[in-house]
Structure 1
Amino acid sequence: MNETRDILTLAVEIGDAMLQNGGEIYRVEDTVMKIMAAYQLEDYDVYVLSNGIFASANEGKEDACSMIRHVPLGSVNLLKISKLNQLARDICDKKCTISEAWVRMDAIIHHKKDPLWIRVLCTGIGSGGFAILFGANFLDGSIAFGIGLLLQLLMLWFEKHHVGRFANLLICSMFVTALSLFPMCMGLPVSQDKIVIGCIMPLVPGIAFTTSIRDFYNSDYLSGVIHLLDALLTALFISVGVGLTIYIFQSLGGAMS
């Protein structure tokens, strides 16, 4: 009984970690089942949603065990996904015992994030790059780069103080829109719309929307709806933040170029 529970818990924990870091539903489901098969569990069944895992093993036997796990929606971390996939492959190839798998999984889950300065710099580069990609000039891109740096600093502060996700999106979109208005008010020849577009790209739910389409394609309709609703709500709060800031600016007598 204890061994069955340990194997099932290990498989679900790996699936949980994959799901939290952006793993696809069908891959998580397949991984959990292959891990249980690798450790000789029988009569197993796994059902995975975008925010939950239901699993059972050795049904009809004395050591039957089942588990339900709620998995909150998280951000995408492809490095952890890659390492978890490799761990699952090693388990299936009989290269990893249960105890070794627990140690490796714990190390992957608690792997340190990139240094803060790298996250800030990459957000700035991404904001400036997207602005130029959408037709901005070098000046617009430079301003978007600076705003992107400040945006990531604000997001890190919100993360530290556990600010709600949708409040985070609303305030961040208002923040970047307000900052994009300053160069225009100073008379600089900038394209304010392209600066805003570049700066909100780090907030846009592109992966969530793509994941929902993939879920629909794989007939995971419930998970597809969850991801799609998450993407639409994210886009809604971003657009409300941008539109509200521009509305307030124009109400105070400001003119858009």
Structure 2
Amino acid sequence: MDNTKEILTLAVEIGDAMLRCGAEIYRVEDSVIRILEAFGLDDFDAYVLSNGIFASANESREDACSVVRYVPLSATHLGKLAALNQLTRDICNHKCSVAEASERLKQCKKIPVYANAVQLLACGIGCAAFTFMFGGHLPEALYAFFVGLIEQLALFVCRKRKVSRFLTNVYVSLLISLLSLPAAAGVIPVLHDKVVIGAIMPLVPGIALTTSIRDFYNGDYLSGTIHLIDALLTALCIAVGIALPILLLRYGGNLPV
């Protein structure tokens, strides 16, 4: 087949986009293999990690080719992932050619994230809801709502300045801790711990931890270890940011808790 390289590149590009959106390892690998099969390749191999894709085709022929792609860990985007899954299904059902699939892939990559105002409101409501869930009452939920708004604004700033994820977690959790200090000092009559727990939940790496367990279950031990280390380091950064102001003020004698 004279367009083997084009087909292989397309399959890897789709797998790359799926990984960047937070897809499971086994799903990405299965999608890449099904795409190659749908376009008629019969001598190929694909190996997917949580941050990389290795694929080759026609290894026993003169037109042998291979593609290696590094994929950095990134945030989940379910909208893009749903569109990419539909594209893969259409390819497997022979509803689009290589050229059409490439064009649709470009469109999938252009799907935007939610507007900043929506993300801002969602973070505030999420923090308030988590505060209720963990035993807080209306005053704590309202306080956590405003902390969540400021938290999301800080995330916007870190994203704009391209701060690393780990430093972002330290900075934002530190900000959350500082914003909760008036409650801890008794200046504002709300339960300090409930506010902090509710406000840090948008930072907690629940998806990364769940993905690592799923990878272990599917036998992808290397990918599971990568996601597990990522989750543990993220949790450590959050703990450092939250604890630092509280410990400094407590041992400084200015915090009654």
TM-score (normalizing by structure 2)? 0.97
- Partner SS state of residue 168, structure 1: helix
Q: What residue ranges of structure 2 are gaps of 5+ in the alignment?
A: none
Quote the Cα distance in structure 2 between the aligned partners of 1:221 and 1:16: 20
**Map of 1:80-91 to 2, 5 A cutoff?**
80-91=80-91
Q: CA deviation at 1:12?
A: 0.2
The amino acid of 1:133's aligned partner reads M
What stretches of structure 1 of length at least 5 have no aligned partner? none
Supply the RMSD in Å over aligned alpha carbons: 1.2
- Return the offset for 1:184: 4.2
Which residue in 1 is equivalent to 2:211? Answer: 211
Give the match for residue 253 of structure 2.
253
CA contact (8 A) 2:49 2:223 kept: yes
* 1:167 partner letter: L
The offset of 1:166, in angstroms, is 1.0
- Contact persistence 2:182–2:188 (CA under 8 A): no
One-letter code aligned to 2:161: H
Q: Secondary structure at the match of 1:122?
A: helix
Separation in 2, partners of 1:232, 1:226: 10
Which residue of the partner structure matches residue 141 of structure 1? 141
> Which one-letter code corresponds to 2:73 in the other structure?
L
Corresponding residue for residue 60 of structure 1: 60
Counterpart contact for 2:183–2:191, Cα < 8 Å: no
Q: Check the 8 A contact 2:47/2:54 in 1, yes or no.
A: yes
**Hey, what's the Cα distance between the residues in 1 that align with 2:100 and 2:125?**
39
1:111 correspondence with 2:111: yes
User: What is residue 25 of structure 2 aligned with on the other side?
Assistant: 25
Could you say which residue in structure 2 is the equivalent of 1:202?
Answer: 202
Deviations 1:16-37 (A, max 9, x none): 0001111000000000000000
| CA distance in structure 1 between the aligned counterparts of 2:237 and 2:2, rounded to whole angstroms | 47
Q: Secondary structure at the match of 1:147?
A: helix
Partner of 1:156: 156
Shift of 1:2: 5.5
The residue number in structure 1 matching 2:223 is 223
Q: TM-score, normalised by structure 1?
A: 0.97
Q: Which amino acid aligns with 1:55?
A: A
Amino acid at match of 1:43: D
Deviation at 1:210?
0.4
2:235 corresponding residue in structure 1: 235
Within the alignment, does 1:92 sit opposite 2:92 as a pair?
Answer: yes
Q: Counterparts of 1:186 and 1:23 in 2: how far apart (Å)? A: 44
Mapped to 2, the partners of 1:3 and 1:54 lie a distance apart of 19
Deviations along 1:203-222, whole A, 9 cap, x unmatched?
00000000000000000000
Q: Secondary structure at the match of 2:3?
A: helix
